[in-house]
A and B are shown apart, each in its own frame.
Chain A
C-alpha cells in the first residue's frame, strides 16, 4: 500500500535524519536502560542482602546497601548450610541436577526438532490434530500428574532414580519443544523440501543437512526454555527423588523454607543465586548464538 506520499516522506526523512537519528538513538538507549533497571531491581536486593550480616538484616533496612560486605553467606550456602542432617550446603546436590538436566534437555530438544520437522514439513492426514493434541498437553497441571505418575514409575521400576526423573522431564517437555520447532520450521518454504526430494534426498538426510543447520536460533530458545524448566523444577524433583537423587532445588528449598527455624536471609539469597548460576551461564553462552542465527537466516535468504 505504498502510495503517492512516498517520495514526500522520503525527502522528509533525509532532511531530518542527521539530528533525528541521534535523538532516536539516545531515546532507544534510555528506554533499554530503564527496562534494565526494572529487571535488575530484585537482583540488587538479593545481592546486597547476601552480602550483609544477619545482624545488619535484622536491624537495618532490607533494601539498602550493606554497611560491611561479607562473603560468609556465600560460603555457607555453597558448602555449609544445613539441608537436613548434613550441613554441606548446595554442593552435593549440584551434580544430581546436572545428571538430570543435561540428558533431559538433549533428548527432549532432539525429539522436539524431529517432531516439529514432521509436523511442519511432512504433513500427512491428521498431523495437525496430533500436533494440537500434543500442544494441549502443555497445559496439564503438574500437580495432577504427580500421583498417577508416581505409580507408573513404580511399575516401571524407576521410581526415585535419576533415569526416572529424566523420563518425566522429557515427557512433559515434548509439547513445548515440538511447538517451538514446528513454529520455526513452518516459516521455511516447503519448496526447499520439495527440491531436495527431487534431488533424491531422503527424510533424515533433509533434516540433518538442511533443517538442522538452519535451526540455531530456535535450538537456543528451546534449550534455554527446557534447561530453565528442568533445572528450576521443584515439584517433580521433590516427588520422584529419594535420598541421594534429590536435585539442587530441593536442597535450596530445604535451606530457604524451614518454618520454625531461625531464618538466615543472607544465606537464602546467596543460595538462590548460586542455584541459578548454571542457568545464567546457559543464557550467556547460548545468547551468543542469536547473532549466529542472524547469519544463518541471511544465508537462507
Chain B
C-alpha cells in the first residue's frame, strides 16, 4: 500500500489542483458557451436560442474596435514590456550599488491600484495639464503630445501606462532567472575572453527560455484582462476608441444587463487566446520534452 502511494504520490499531489481547474475553469467555460446561445438578459437563463448573440456581436461596430485594439495593444504591450523587462534585469545584474532601491522603483507600479494611478496618468498625458503644456512652458511652443485625446492614438497611451505598470514584474522574473544561471559557465566564458554581449546572447538568454514562457503568459494574461487601466485612463474613449474586449464584456454583462451578449464576446475572446497561446505552448513544451 505504502509503495503504491509512494509511486503515485506525484499524481495524488497534483490531483486536487487539476480537479479544481477542471471545474472552475473548464466547467465555467462550458457554462459560458451555453449561456452565449441563450437570450439571457439580467440574470443567466438556460433556454437555447441559437447563434443570435454572435450575430449581434459581429454586427456591432464597437466590438470591431475592441478586438482590433486587442491586437494592437496586445502585440505592442507584450513585445515592449518583455524587451524592457529583460533590458532592465540585465542592467541591474551588473553589481549595481543601489540595486535594492532601483529594483523597488521599477516594481512599485504593480503595487498601486490602477483605479487611481490611472488618474495620475490621465493628468500627465492630458495636453492641457501634463507633459505637453509643461514642455510648451519651457519655450518649445511647437511641441505636441495629444495622443490621449486623439481617437487614432489614444490606444498607444494605454500601452504606455500598461508597460509602466507591469514591466517591473517582468524584470523581476528575468532577474530571478539571471540569478539562477550557473555562475561557473559564465566565469569559464569570461576566462576564454568571450565579449560580454556574446555571453548574454549565446549562453545566458537561451538558458532562460522557461522564464520567457512565464513572462509571456503573465503579459498575455494582463493584456487580455486589462480592464481597470482602460476604465481609469480613458474610460474607453474618446468615443469608444480604446475599448477592449474585457471592457466590452463587462459593459454588456453588468452595466447593460445583456449577459448573453457578454457570454458570446467572452467566447470569441477565449478563441483568440486559444489561437495565439496554444501554438506557443505546444512548441515550448515539446522542446522541453526532447
Contacts and interface: CB of A to CB of B under 8 A. Distances in A.
Interface in A249-301: 249, 252-253, 256-257, 265, 268-269, 271-273, 275-276, 279-280, 282-284, 287-288, 290-291, 293-294, 297-298, 300-301
B221 A13 contact: no
B111 A141 contact: no
A220 B176 contact: yes
B250 interface: yes
Contacts of A61: 129, 133
A130 interface: yes
Nearest to B171: A35
Contacts of A39: 105-106, 108-109, 164, 168
Q: Of B123, B202, B274, which is in contact with the most chain A CB atoms at under 10 Å from its CB?
A: B123
B220 to A, nearest CB: 7
Interface stretch (B58-66, B88-96, B140-148, B150-158): B88-96
Interface residues of A, number: 109
Given A143-B253, A148-B31, A283 B104 contact: yes
B262 A290 contact: no
Interface of B: 6, 9-11, 13-14, 16-18, 20-22, 24-29, 31-32, 43-44, 88, 91-92, 94, 96, 99-100, 102-117, 119-121, 123-124, 129-130, 133-134, 164, 168-169, 172-173, 175-176, 179-184, 192-195, 202, 207, 210-211, 213-214, 217-218, 220-221, 224-225, 227-228, 245-246, 249-250, 253-254, 259, 262-263, 266, 269-270, 273-274, 277-278, 281, 285, 288-289
**Which secondary structure dominates where chain B touches chain A?**
helix
Q: Of A28, A42, A179, A252, which is in contact with the most chain B CB atoms at under 10 Å from its CB?
A: A42
Contacts of A176: 217-218, 221
A43 B202 CA distance: 38
Contacts of B246: 141, 143
A143 B259 CA distance: 11
Contact of B113 (A118, A252, A282): A252
Given A36-B102, A63-B130, A149-B24, A275 B32 contact: no
B252 to A, nearest CB: 9
Q: Of A45, A142, A225, A288, which is in contact with the most chain B CB atoms at under 10 Å from its CB?
A: A45
Which 8 A-B pairs have CB atoms at the shortest separation, nearest pair first? A272-B116, A279-B111, A183-B210, A137-B25, A217-B176, A122-B10, A10-B193, A42-B120
Contacts of B9: 202-204
Q: Of A40, A118, A252, which is in contact with the most chain B CB atoms at under 10 Å from its CB?
A: A118
A133 B26 contact: yes
Given A2-B192, A39-B164, A252-B113, A144 B224 contact: no
B281 to A, nearest CB: 5
A87 interface: no
A139 B14 contact: no
Interface string A163-206: 00000000110111011101110110000000000000011100
B28 A149 contact: yes
Contacts of A218: 176
Contacts of A161: none
B82 to A, nearest CB: 15
B9 to A, nearest CB: 4
Nearest to B228: A234
A41 interface: yes
Contact of A297 (B24, B25, B181): B181
Contact of B44 (A127, A131, A140, A147): A147
A290 to B, nearest CB: 6
Given A203-B6, A269-B116, A140 B29 contact: yes
A69 interface: no
A293 B179 CA distance: 7
A171 B100 CA distance: 32
B202 to A, nearest CB: 7
Given A118-B14, A143-B253, A1 B28 contact: no
